[in-house]
Amino acid sequence: MRNDLQNYIDTIPAIKDGYQMKETFWLNDKIVAGGERTIRLLSPEKIDDARDRLERFAPYLKKVFPELKETGGIIESELREIEGMRDFLNRNYGAEVEGRLMLKMDSHLPISGSVKARGGIYEVLKHGEDLALKAGLLKETDDYAVLAEPRFLEFFGRHTVQVGSTGNLGMSIGIMSAKLGFHVIVHMSADAKQWKKDLLRSRGVEVIEYADDYCAAVEQGRKRSDEDPMSYFVDDENSRDLFLGYSVAGGRLKAQLEERNIAVDREHPLFVYIPCGIGGAPGGVTYGLKQIYGDNVHCFFTEPVHACCMLFGMATGLHDQVCVKDFDIDGRTDADGLAVGRPSAFVGKVVEPVLSGIATIEDRKLYDLMRGLLDSEDIFIEPSSCASFAALIRPKDLKRYIEKAGLSGKMKNATHIAWATGGNMVPEEMRKEYLNKGLS
Ligand SMILES: *Cc1c(COP(=O)(O)O)cnc(C)c1O
């Protein structure tokens, strides 16, 4: 273990748990009322800018992805009430979920079946737009459906997009970049599943495999991209654009809640639980929600015990200056979307004044939760997604938060949202394998 970390283990119980690879639930003591107004690293107008950009692209997306016909080119997922799952959690895990439990089904987002269809696709579109505007081939006022024309395929074909990925980010970046006509290279870590590599190759994406972990794949990808002036690197560790793509989810969720007359205010708190890898997706969604709901939304990240990098980064305040290997933890988890050893360089700092806490979960429980959701709701999601229930199954810790936040007595009116971050594209044989995991 890195020798300067012992002090954190001795003084912060959640760090001690993390180090011992025990499940834990850390409450963020740096959260402040109105914390979103203190964030200086980004500005909220950027969210509107991202939303508007996605709207400009809608006619193009509708044209090239038939599955987006129905929504007019907007990539959005269903919000579904899951009462059966609430009963399952209360019965089998002693959860004490009062109020409503809902599933935000990014697991079923069109195009790439994971939350990365928000940030990843957004960043590729933005890069494509930047190039086309600069070349004088496009104006913001044009109908972006023109981007499907051969002259644009030819134009983008002279450019390369590269990314390092454990799987899902590569899927979103790969599919979207290839559709626009880019040459695209996805650098995949050892955790990445074979079927994802196969699928990408079938879409014309170049996949390079590494025996090492995620950070190594990113490093190699960045290096290769830097050597090529026509190449653009999607940098999961630092990208503001990815983050902003995710943050658009806030306004979209607001519209969905309003449509169902679900109130979010002082008397009706909203609790949101989002699985965390490097932090971009849960951080962006949290940032977007906080701008809208302020102190009435309570956001939690969830991580596997073997890859709890954001817990280590935020609870120590060391952020990206610490990784799980520094604590002698291997980073190996079946939740491949969360198999990240070092947190983002900026997300932890951005969410420091607004994040409620971080819960961690053991891999074997992910499978049990997966079966629970399938049995009770007939919804399949992948192991990473199932981490979204990690906080709800620790009722004592959640109660500690509820009391601290002065919400006791209001929880009957609360809405809980588990953010299902992936699953729809998992092939049938893999689903079977997952569903049999840990059953004797
Ligand atoms: C990427 C991913 C996450 C987390 O996103 P980060 O930006 O890495 O924190 C969660 N779930 C799934 C399924 C993912 O693919």
What confidence tens digit (pLDDT) does each residue in 112-130 have? 999 999 999 999 999 999 9
Name, in order, each residue with C-beta under 8 angstroms of 56's C-beta and a sequence gap of 6 or more. 129, 140, 144
Percent of the chain with pLDDT over 70: 100
How much distance in Å is there from the Cα of 338 to the middle of ligand 1? 6
pLDDT in tens, 310-346: 999 999 999 999 999 999 999 999 998 999 999 998 9
- Has residue 72 got a pLDDT over 90? yes
How much distance in Å is there from the Cα of 166 to the middle of ligand 1? 9
pLDDT at 142: 98
pLDDT at 212: 80
pLDDT at 440: 59
Atom of ligand 1 nearest to the CA of 276: 9
pLDDT at 166: 80
Give residue 62's Cα distance to chain centre: 24
Distance CA 24, CA 15 (A): 9
Question: Average pLDDT for residues 152-166, to the nearest whole number?
Answer: 95
Residue with tokens 């817990």: 311
- Pocket test of ligand 1: the residue of 77, 103, 107, 114 to mutate, having most ligand atoms within 8 Å of its CB, is 114
Classify burial at 162, counting beta carbons within 10 Å of its beta carbon; exposed 0-12, middle 13-18, buried 19 or more. buried
pLDDT band at 181 (very low <50, low <70, confident <90, very high): very high
Q: How many CA atoms lie within 13 A of 77 on its CB side?
A: 29
Question: Average pLDDT for residues 244-257, to the nearest whole number?
Answer: 98
Reduced to 3 states (helix: H, G, I; strand: E, B; else coil), residue 404 is: helix
Cβ(68)–Cβ(62) under 8 Å? yes
How much distance in Å is there from the Cα of 37 to the middle of ligand 1? 26
**By C-alpha distance, which of 337, 340, 353, 344 is closest to 320?**
344
- At how many degrees (to 10) do helices 428-436 and 363-377 cross? 110
Cβ(221)–Cβ(185) under 8 Å? yes
Query: Over the chain, what is the mean pLDDT?
Result: 96
Beta bridge partners of 420: 105
- Has residue 263 got a pLDDT over 70? yes
- Number of residues that this document lists for the chain: 440
Distance CA 37, CA 354 (A): 10
Residue closest via CA to ligand 1's atom 1 equals 337
Name, in order, each residue with C-beta under 8 angstroms of 291's C-beta and a sequence gap of 6 or more. 36, 44, 47, 247, 250
- Pocket test of ligand 1: the residue of 77, 384, 385, 389 to mutate, having most ligand atoms within 8 Å of its CB, is 384
More confident residue, 337 or 144: 144
Atom of ligand 1 nearest to the CA of 275: 10
- Pocket test of ligand 1: the residue of 299, 338, 385 to mutate, having most ligand atoms within 8 Å of its CB, is 338
Percent of the chain with pLDDT over 90: 93
0.85 exceeded by the pTM?
A: yes
- Has residue 30 got a pLDDT over 80? yes
How much distance in Å is there from the Cα of 342 to the middle of ligand 1? 13
Ligand 1 neighbours (beta carbon < 6 A): 114-116, 168, 275-282, 337-338, 340, 382, 384-385, 421-422
pLDDT band at 211 (very low <50, low <70, confident <90, very high): confident
How much distance in Å is there from the Cα of 337 to the middle of ligand 1? 5
Single-letter code of the amino acid located at 407: L
How much distance in Å is there from the Cα of 232 to the middle of ligand 1? 21
Question: Average pLDDT for residues 364-386, to the nearest whole number?
Answer: 97
pLDDT at 438: 78
**Strand 297-304 and strand 357-361: pairing?**
parallel
**Strand 25-27 and strand 357-361: pairing?**
antiparallel
- Has residue 89 got a pLDDT over 70? yes
Structure tokens at 434: 């997952």
- Has residue 190 got a pLDDT over 90? no
How much distance in Å is there from the Cα of 399 to the middle of ligand 1? 27
Atom of ligand 1 nearest to the CA of 340: 8
Cβ(117)–Cβ(75) under 8 Å? yes
Cβ(275)–Cβ(304) under 8 Å? no
Span between the terminal Cα atoms of the chain, in Å: 35
Distance CA 123, CA 28 (A): 30
**By C-alpha distance, which of 437, 425, 433, 429 is closest to 168?**
425
**By C-alpha distance, which of 168, 189, 78 is closest to 385?**
168
Rg of the Cα trace of the chain? 21
pLDDT at 53: 98
Name, in order, each residue with C-beta under 8 angstroms of 198's C-beta and a sequence gap of 6 or more. none
Cβ(296)–Cβ(264) under 8 Å? yes
- Pocket test of ligand 1: the residue of 123, 168, 370 to mutate, having most ligand atoms within 8 Å of its CB, is 168
pLDDT at 215: 81
How much distance in Å is there from the Cα of 113 to the middle of ligand 1? 12
